[in-house]
Structure 1
Amino acid sequence: MQKSDQPPFASKLPPMNSAWIFLNEDQPSGTNYNDPSSQFQRMIKKDIYQCSDMISLCFVDIVPTSADTIPAGDGSSYTLFLDKVTHPASPDGSVPTNQDYMEWIVRDAKKANPKVRVLLTLLYGKQCLISQIYSDPANPDQASAKAFAKNVVTYLKHYNLDGFDIDWEWDYLSTDTTQAQFKATFSAVGPALKAEGMLLTMGPATKDNLDPETVNNHFDIIAFQMYSSTSLPSAFIDFGIKPDAFAYGAKFEAGFQTADNAHRQMQRYGFKAVTTWRLNSENYVYEQDQYLTLAKLVFG
């Protein structure tokens, strides 16, 4: 008899092909989003969005509400915020930011494929991202969690986005978020997103400080960073997390693997859904071409 914590796993997800995009990076160097030779324009020309179920844009921050946030507020609650990273200037002298890039990708992706879902991925490399939501981090309260969840929905709806993705890894998100904070936060965020037809997803590299019940009840997709550890699915099963939402996390950055290799691994683990890191490093031609090849394998 097969052990439940060994592959293949009984994921219930259908065939899906998705990717992460790192908003900060422009390739080739010196181009920006609208340059005809940019990797962003290549995505459009090569029909990347047509073969995508989800595109997750990295990374979004969490900040206190203010006059400049969506929604505006007095700082008593928290919301999402996209850092105003700047990019190479356009010929007219204007300097686009990550905010512009997010809006342009939403526009272009949904024009190419009205069914594609565009999500924002939470930053992981900043301390106290989740704990700051609570005035008493040791005792996370429902009121603060619900206020944050409401603001997340407002932000996503404002920019025509479709969900919230959590990059659960060390230094610092998975390290300094307690299990109680995780439970309070995502037990509020999950239902708030679901009520609006939005997704809550995760790209984990560890199970540290997760709450199994919260993950089982509220996360729609768990795309493991298999390039970090191939034992992650087994670890999640042993931790009490059901395999229903399990998906494969591929990596074409730096030529880490090929589409054929990723698909063979998906079959071994019983996964029909995959999310790829990423489409826009300096090796973007390889990444995008492998992504297109993987889509053909995923959808048969």
Structure 2
Amino acid sequence: MTSPNIPSKSVNTWIYLDEDEPAGTGYTSFNSCYQSLVHNQVYASTDMLFICFFTVVPDGKGFYTIEIGNKNAVHADGSTTQQYLEYTIFDAKAQNAGIKILATLNYNDDNLAQIFSGNQQQWPAQVTNFASNVKNYLQTMLINGLDIDWEGAFSTNISQAQFAMLFKAIRSAFNTNSTYMYLTMCPAEVGNLDVTTVNTCFDLITLQNYSGFTFPTDYTGIGIMPQLLGYGAKFESNQQTANQANAEALAGFSYNNQQYIYNNIGQWRLNSGNYIYEQSQQILLYQLAYKKAGGVFNDGAIVARVNNPLLANLIIRSGDVIDAVQATCTGSFNGNPGTLALLQHGGNGGGSNAININTGDVITQVSGYTGTWYGWNVVVQLTIKTKAGQVYGPFGTMNNVTNKTAFSYTAQQNQCIAAFNGSTIQVPTVQGTMTLVVAELSVSYAQVPVGELQPA
């Protein structure tokens, strides 16, 4: 296979291994951002996983190679960052055999420039050995390619000639591998890109569209093939929703009087302090991009693995019908009190309704209606009741709904409702786009721990 090997369609994302969320957790903590990726099958909604950040280091033989940054740093669970890398590769591939994993190179100023720090006559040998070392390292680690974070001073710290020399050597080394190895880039600015090298050696250029100063015309204007360009979304800090990112990718851009859509989307990232939102939107983006009918969810299976911590908060999105549900539980994790935040199930339509369950109270009944909404059979209303008599809802106006059917789930004595399970379905909006709503809903029950119940 020759380069460029541009994916026909992909939904991709970055993960940053130096960060632990929530604070005080480690990779192996049940309620960590990393285990959330596993519990909720987020890797199954990912085509390319870019792992951040790798750095250029001496190989001990007078040349250079790469390794994961801060590889010996020890995290809260006792794992090193190198172990985080190994865990991530294993978990991603175990969940999604077809996933492509790429190492994202840090944009430190001298990461690449140091390769050219010697006499110019030494550059070819330095570049050739670096390319070979990178290829061998990635192959050993079961990583499928290299991704370049191209921004700031890093984008001008090597010349166009050095860029061409380096990445042609990397592509040549990659082409000696028995399976295809990818070379990709996520630029915020043009810098000293060499156009010919980009067009012949790189497989995907995911623009940092979210930067506010990165535009496709910056790249097509210097001759980079429009087909190479991917759309860069950002779910960190709630900057975008999946619906917005997908709509902007489909809107695309113009070049030479021709309209192009972005067939490939990458989003920053999966594991910031807002990881629950980021991971939920990753799944939703994948469903929207691939026009998936919807998906199933089973929070009951997740909470059961940690003895059913109590539901403490709910967010229900609703308009005419129930757009999404999301729960947060409180309990003991690794012997320490903490929270287990579960993902949003459904789309971003409707309004957000937050429910906070009082300490000592538990949810004992979930009731509502299913019905037909513009031809779609969905959950159209929800009401939540607690043992202490608190009533939340009803949520969902049921406007434009026909064929309503009531349902109710009630916990037995000394039990509570511990989690939601169900499915979502993709439906069209009046704006002509697509979103997801809740199609089916059921619950899981659990015994209330002694001492948790309020007196009746």
TM-score with structure 2 setting the length: 0.58
Q: Once the 2 structures are TM-superposed, how far is the Cα of residue 113 of structure 1 from its aligned partner? A: 0.7
Higher normalized contact order (CA 8 Å, seq sep 6+, divided by chain length): 1
Distance 2:115 2:44 in 1: 37
Deviates more, 1:113-122 or 1:128-137: 128-137
Match of 1:80 in 2: 66
| The one of 150, 154, 174 aligned to 1:168 | 150
Counterpart contact for 1:263–1:294, Cα < 8 Å: yes
SS at match of 2:249: helix
Higher share in helix:
1
Q: Which amino acid aligns with 2:188?
A: A
Gaps of 5+ in 1: 1-10, 67-73
Q: What whole-Å deviation, never above 9, does each CA across 1:132-172 have from its counterpart, x for those lacking one?
A: 112447677322211110000111011111110000000x3
Distance 1:12 1:188 in 2: 19
Match of 2:172 in 1: 191
CA 1:107–1:13: 2 relative to 1, 3 Å: closer
Q: Once the 2 structures are TM-superposed, how far is the Cα of residue 264 of structure 1 from its aligned partner? A: 0.7
Q: Once the 2 structures are TM-superposed, how far is the Cα of residue 12 of structure 1 from its aligned partner? A: 6.1
Q: Where do 1:210-225 residues align within 5 Å? A: 210-225=193-208
Q: Which amino acid aligns with 2:67?
A: F
CA 1:288–1:207: 2 relative to 1, 3 Å: same
Match of 1:20 in 2: 14
Match of 1:181 in 2: 162
Q: Which amino acid aligns with 1:283?
A: N
RMSD in angstroms over aligned alpha carbons? Answer: 1.7
SS at match of 1:14: coil
Q: What whole-Å deviation, never above 9, does each CA across 1:50-94 have from its counterpart, x for those lacking one?
A: 11111011100101112xxxxxxx2x111002222534332xxxx
Q: Once the 2 structures are TM-superposed, how far is the Cα of residue 255 of structure 1 from its aligned partner? A: 0.3
Match of 1:294 in 2: 285
Counterpart contact for 2:150–2:189, Cα < 8 Å: yes
| The one of 107, 131, 138 aligned to 2:113 | 131
Match of 1:258 in 2: 241
Distance 1:102 1:218 in 2: 26
Gaps of 5+ in 2: 253-260, 292-456
Counterpart contact for 1:131–1:137, Cα < 8 Å: no
Q: Which amino acid aligns with 2:130?
A: F
Report how many residues are paired: 276
Q: Once the 2 structures are TM-superposed, how far is the Cα of residue 194 of structure 1 from its aligned partner? A: 3.3
Distance 2:211 2:122 in 1: 30
Q: Once the 2 structures are TM-superposed, how far is the Cα of residue 45 of structure 1 from its aligned partner? A: 1.1
| The one of 229, 240, 244 aligned to 1:246 | 229
Match of 2:96 in 1: 113
Counterpart contact for 1:168–1:204, Cα < 8 Å: yes
CA 1:137–1:210: 2 relative to 1, 3 Å: farther
Counterpart contact for 1:205–1:229, Cα < 8 Å: no
Q: Where do 1:137-152 residues align within 5 Å? A: 141-152=123-134
Distance 2:6 2:73 in 1: 40
Distance 1:104 1:56 in 2: 14
Q: Once the 2 structures are TM-superposed, how far is the Cα of residue 127 of structure 1 from its aligned partner? A: 2.6
Counterpart contact for 2:16–2:52, Cα < 8 Å: yes
Deviates more, 1:138-147 or 1:100-109: 138-147
Match of 2:343 in 1: none
- Greater Rg over alpha carbons, structure: 2
Counterpart contact for 1:16–1:273, Cα < 8 Å: yes
Q: Once the 2 structures are TM-superposed, how far is the Cα of residue 245 of structure 1 from its aligned partner? A: 1.5
Q: What whole-Å deviation, never above 9, does each CA across 1:220-257 have from its counterpart, x for those lacking one?
A: 01110000146521110111111122111110000000
Q: Which amino acid aligns with 1:115?
A: G
CA 1:280–1:137: 2 relative to 1, 3 Å: farther
CA 1:32–1:231: 2 relative to 1, 3 Å: closer
Q: Which amino acid aligns with 2:32?
A: S
Higher share in strand:
2
Distance 2:208 2:171 in 1: 21
CA 1:165–1:131: 2 relative to 1, 3 Å: same
Match of 1:282 in 2: 273
Q: Which amino acid aligns with 2:149?
A: D
CA 1:140–1:18: 2 relative to 1, 3 Å: farther
Q: Once the 2 structures are TM-superposed, how far is the Cα of residue 179 of structure 1 from its aligned partner? A: 1.2
Q: Which amino acid aligns with 2:26?
A: N
Q: Which amino acid aligns with 1:279?
A: L
| The one of 103, 125, 139 aligned to 2:86 | 103
Counterpart contact for 1:248–1:273, Cα < 8 Å: yes
Counterpart contact for 2:233–2:266, Cα < 8 Å: yes
Counterpart contact for 1:131–1:177, Cα < 8 Å: yes
| The one of 249, 257, 264 aligned to 1:273 | 264
Distance 1:260 1:194 in 2: 37
Q: Which amino acid aligns with 2:290?
A: F
